[in-house]
Structures are given as C-alpha cells and as structure tokens.
Chains A and B, each alone.
Chain A
Amino acid sequence: MIQEEEKSPMKFQRRTVLKLSAAALAAPAIIPGRLAANDPIIFGAVAPKTGPLAGGAAVTHWPNLQLWQTQVNAAGGIMVDGNAHPVEIIEYDDQTNPGETIRGVQRLATQDNAHFIITPYGTGLHIAAAPIFDRYGYPQVCVTAITDQGSELAGQFPNMFFTLGATTPFAGDVIRVLTAMRDAGQIGNRLAMVNVADAFGIELMAAGMPLAEAAGFELVYETSYPLGTQDLAPVINGVKDAAPDAFVAWSYPPDTFGLTEQAMIAGLEVGAYYTAVATSFPGFNARFEGAANNILGAGGVNPDLPSFQEYEAAHIEVTGQAPDYWASATTYGSLQVLQQSIEAVGLDREAVSAHIKEADFDTVLGPMHFRDNNFNQAYWTVGQWQDGVFRGVASQNRDGVAAARLKEGWA
C-alpha cells in the first residue's frame, strides 16, 4: 500500500483516502470500510489444510475458493460503488481443531481486518466459529454444516445462514426414493440399514429408522460399526445373509468405499444400494467404474443445468480436478451469495446480512433464498451414479429430479 502511494500521481488525495480507510478498518464493527478504486476486497478463509478433515476440504472447499477468486478477478472484480475491486483471500489452516478455527477467525476479523470471512469446513468447526462471526457482525453463509438445529442456531446467531440442508430431510428423502421404487414394483419390502458410529452417521440413523418403519419397510438387518473400521466384510456378510431388497448405509468417506468394495466381492444382490457421504466424489466413480452404476448416495446435482455444466468445466480447468457432486457447487454458490449481496449493498456487513435474509440469489445450483429462518430450502438430498454422471434423484424444492434406477449387478 505504501509503495502504491509513492507511485501515485495524486499523492495527497490518495493519502487522505488511505487514512480514511485505515480509520474505517480500525473500527470494523461500526464503520464499513471505504475502498479506493482498485483496492482489493479482503476475504478471510479458515479451514483444514491438515488433520482429519483436510482430505474432504481439499476436494470440496479450497478448490472452490481458488476457482471463485480466479473467475471474479478475471472479470475485473466485485463492483462496489461503481468501481471494480479484485478479491484477495487470506487463508489459514485450522488443523481440524476448533480452538484454531476460533483463533483464525478472530485473527482475520481483528488483525487482518478482512472485509468478509468465508465459512469454515465441517459441522463442528462451522459452529465453533459462529460466535466470532456474530460478535464482529460478519455474515456466515454456511455450507458443510448439516443440522436439524438450524433455526435454534440462527436464533442465537442472526447472521448465520444454512445452504446444504437439514439432517432429517436427508434421511427422509432416501426413504422416499426407496418407497417410490417399492410402490413401482421395482424392489420388495425388505430393508437393511447400517451406520457408522460417528456424529452424522448416528444422526442419520436416528432420523432414518423411524421413517423407514413408518413407510412400512421391514427392517431385516440393522447394525453399526466404529469409524475407521478396516474390515467391513462382517457387515456386508450379515446384510447378505438377511437377503434384503434394499441396502442403506449412513456412511463416511473411508467406509463408503470399504462397504462398496465388500459388496462387490460378496456379490450383494439388492435392487437399491445407498452409501452416504463421499459417494458423490468423482473419485468414487473412478474407483468402481461400471460397478458404481446405479449406486445411490448423499447429495446430487442437476447435471443438465447449463450453469452447473459451465461451473464444472471451469472447476476442472482452473483447479485441475472435477468438483464433487454435492457440496462443491454449494460452496461456490455460497461465495456467489456473498458476492451478489456485496454488489447490491456495498461493504457494510450489517447491510449485507440484511440483504442475504431478504434477497433472491442466482447461483450455479439455480435460485436460492434464505427467507425461511435463514435456511435455504432448495437443496439436493439423494443422487445416483447413472452412466458415469451423478444425477440428483431426490431434492427439497429443486428442479430436474431424475428417476431412480434399479441396481443391477456389479459389472
């Protein structure tokens, strides 16, 4: 900044503006920062680069920040008061540790004077950061935080917005897909349901079991296994012995792969096969190729949507990897929400939060709004690998739902 100042022909004015903006930044909670033309808008980002969640963040979170920054800056930047400002992102590693997330957000808010802060990664880290976002009045557009407590949290933290959905609809829509297949005579009534004994797996099982029973399914097998279980053969063998018509696993990344591998080996014959988190990763299809065909999983997108196709191509071009077919596009969409609000009302964070609460947004996933208790009510819940494409087969209020197909063999 100082170097720029010396180069500038309008030395005096420039200095005044800088002083003003420095004064504005020093009191970020009260006065929105004034930017000189071409000054960057600073975004902070704290998420895992190391620790247990680093792998997921490397697929879903960080590439989308890179893509968004590249695209926005290539287009000139974000328009504020008639001037285009480039995006600058300050990144910190929270080591998958909530204490570090808190400290990172705190540092961004008070030391780096970030204009806006991008939400962290993972439910626990999202929520640990919420009080700091709240205290400094930063809007927090959450992505990878799926919770049934959204309205409670939004009550306590009024600038917290949820994009990816709630737990119960995720479980409920799986049962809905299975019920439709059963009622169409594609599968029978016998259901096997297993879960990984960890946070989200337990929540989905608790939500899914009563819904399956209410839908009239006969639960022929039900078990759980600890997170990190290497040998999942006993689980799949137990399922196979119970001869179910449909198999549902509320699983996490390592066991999503492990269960599917075992199901292939054992030749599990079911008409519907569902694994939860990470089924939507491009790596899943790459790993199982033909055998992945007609496997159901958590998430989904509408691959026919032109905005999504454009996004997918750009993601591959800029980051060198394909997006996942669930939270990736939502992560990008959350950044579009911030961007569109800033372009509408400027850098005043209170005004941005108020705008997010009221406005309609146009994202790569389609339209989005937060007027229902800060909760985006349009999201994908179940997808299915259909000939190499992960298509949404169930959603809450999203268009372009494809019909679920019968799982036929593992070839």
Chain B
Amino acid sequence: MMSTTDIRTIAIAAVAIGVCALLPLVDQGYWLSIGVSIAMFTVLATSWALFSGPTHYISLATAAFFGIGTYVTGSFYESVSFWLLLPAAAIVGGLLAGIVGLATLRLSGVYFVIFTLGLAELVRQVITWAQNMTGHRGTYVLLDFGSRSVEEVIYWTLLGLAAIVYLAGWLIGRSRLGFALRIIGDDEEVARHSGINTARAKVLLFMVPGAVAAATGAALAPRYVYIEPALAFTPLLSFQVVIMALLGGAGRLWGPLVGVIPFTLLWEVISATFPNQTTLLLGAAFLVIVYVLPRGFVGLLERARARAGGGA
C-alpha cells in the first residue's frame, strides 16, 4: 500500500526530473554537456550504490558493462533501432553480471573487488581478439536524430534511465529483497542462518548495475562517434563512479546524486583552471574528501540534522 508520504516522494521526484528535462531548452551547448555528464554519473553511481550500498561489496566492473553497451550500439545501430538497442544492451549487461555474480559473489569482498577490476580488461581483450580475428576496420556510430541534436536526445535518454533507476531502487528498498540485502550487509552469517538465500539475493541485485551501466554505454555511444576498446573500457570510469557514490553516500538512494553534482562541477573547474595539474588536484581533492567526509555528504547532512534536533 502506498502512504501519503510515498505519493508525495514520487510526486517530488517526478517534478524534479521534469524540471531537469527542460535544460536543453535553456542551453544547447556548454551546460547541456555538463548536464550529460551529471546525468550519466548519476545513473551509474546510483545504480552502483543500489548493490554496493547495502552489501558493502565494492564493484569496479562499471567500465566492463559500460563498454559492452557501447559495443552493442556500435555493432548493431545500422540494422536495429537505437531505442531497441538500449534494452538489448541492458539484457546483455544484466546476463553478464549474473554470470559474473554466480562465479564471484560466493567469495568474500576482496576477491570480488579484484575480479570486477579485471573484468573490464577481460571483456576488452575478448572484443579485441574478435576484432583481430575478423580484421575489423573501426567502429563508427554516425547517428542522426533529425531535428533533435544527439546531445539532447542522449540527455533525455539518461534522465529516463535515472527515473527508472530511482523507481527500481525505491521498489527494491521496500521489497523483501531489499530487506534481505540490508541484513546481508549487516552480517552475512546472521542472514544465512535466518534462511535467506544470500547468494541468490546478491546475484539478483548485482544484475541491476550491470544492466544499467550497459544501457548507459549504449546510450552514450553516438556521442563518442568512434568506438575503440581502449576508450570504451577505460578503468578510470569505474573509479570515478565509486568515488562519486562514496562522496555522496551509498547508504541512501539520493546519496550518490549529492556526490555526483559537486564532483562533476569540481572536476570541471579544475580541468578549466589548472589543465596541467588535473590529476594531481583531483587526487588531493579525493584525499580531503576521505579525511573530512568519511561518510559522504549524506553523513554530513544527517549529522547536521541530528545536531539541530538535539539543540531544539
């Protein structure tokens, strides 16, 4: 049953996404390109936190699924509609995540981290091998959306994906699966003794970020125009997603969003102002974040709220 607060939450979220959807009408250039970045990282970081938040498994597989998605579009966009490729990529990504999950999620945390980091490289090598066997001649995605710009269409697609991710996260949070995952995150032994099939729950939930990241990659392929393995499977993407999600706070559904927005803007300011020291300054910023905000912005906000409540 939906309570009044639920209806209000959904209404607020719907209005917020509706307002964001107006951005391309205001600016088609610089701010839209920042909007695409923010929307992309919001989708990736929020779906990442859906799994990693409750289970505390750090997944570095985002780049693997993202890359697969770009190749789904890159390989089939000439014969299949772009709009069908998005769900197709999601299915491929979800299935791969399922297989990977079955193989690794029975293991404890650190093995999982290492495997997911290697996964992007593994998939990249498989694609390279296939290209080498067939004498591949470069993947170009030359898509045209008529009167709408590519950037605009991608932005709206990503907003749609964000809406799906938030809805899925909200539903999972209320479901038995979400409850089971919270128990697993607190103590996996206890969860198992309570009769929860922990492996199944983890695999099921791991498929969500897999599917979402692949769909995101598929949506962004027309923006890159030229797809090559080194660029599609860049490991940096996986780390960026983790950093942003942790900066915001992975414990709340809206947590990653409050990390993505300041981080993207900070990244932009640093890139524009100190083009020769970008990596150095980002590293320094990350250190500050870890030391000053160990629980992310969510932790900061909740502490502030608790203090305000205590004072009253």
Which residues of A does B touch, CB under 8 Å?
49-50, 52, 91-93, 95-100, 102-104, 106-107, 109-111, 123-124, 126-128, 130-131, 135-136, 147-149, 152-153, 156, 167, 195, 197-199, 202-203, 205-206, 209, 224, 226-227
Contact = CB atoms under 8 A, between A and B. Distances in A.
Interface in B151-198: 151
Nearest to B34: A103
Contact of A202 (B29, B135, B227, B271): B135
Given A91-B275, A199-B230, A206 B136 contact: yes
B225 A93 contact: no
Contacts of B104: none
A61 to B, nearest CB: 14
Contacts, number: 120
Contacts of A100: 271
Given A49-B276, A99-B223, A103-B271, 9 more contacts: A97-B236, A99-B37, A111-B272, A123-B226, A127-B140, A136-B29, A148-B137, A149-B138, A227-B128
Contact of B37 (A50, A103, A126): A103
A50 B128 contact: no
A289 to B, nearest CB: 32
A124 B224 contact: yes
Contacts of B271: 92-93, 100, 103-104
B114 to A, nearest CB: 19
B226 A128 contact: yes
Contacts of B137: 148, 167, 202-203, 206
Given A49-B276, A92-B271, A224 B224 contact: no
Interface residues of B, number: 38
A226 B126 CA distance: 11
20 contacts: A49-B275, A91-B275, A91-B276, A93-B271, A96-B231, A96-B234, A102-B223, A103-B37, A123-B226, A124-B228, A124-B231, A127-B140, A128-B226, A130-B225, A131-B150, A131-B223, A152-B142, A198-B228, A199-B228, A202-B128
Interface SS of chain B:
helix
A394 to B, nearest CB: 22
Contacts of B144: 156
Given A92-B271, A97-B234, A103-B37, A198 B229 contact: yes
A405 B195 CA distance: 77
Interface SS of chain A:
helix
Nearest to B128: A197
**Residue from B226, B227, B230 whose CB has the most chain A CB atoms within 10 Å:** B226
A126 to B, nearest CB: 8
Contacts of A152: 140, 142
B291 interface: no
A111 B33 CA distance: 12
A93 B226 contact: no
B75 interface: no
Given A127-B225, A131-B150, A197-B132, A95 B231 contact: no
Contact of A111 (B30, B129, B228): B30
A102 B131 CA distance: 26
Given A93-B278, A152-B142, A199-B228, A102 B33 contact: yes
**Residue from B136, B228, B230, B231 whose CB has the most chain A CB atoms within 10 Å:** B231
B30 A107 contact: yes
Nearest to A92: B275
Contacts of B140: 127, 149, 152-153
B138 A110 contact: no
Interface in B108-135: 125, 128-129, 131-132, 135
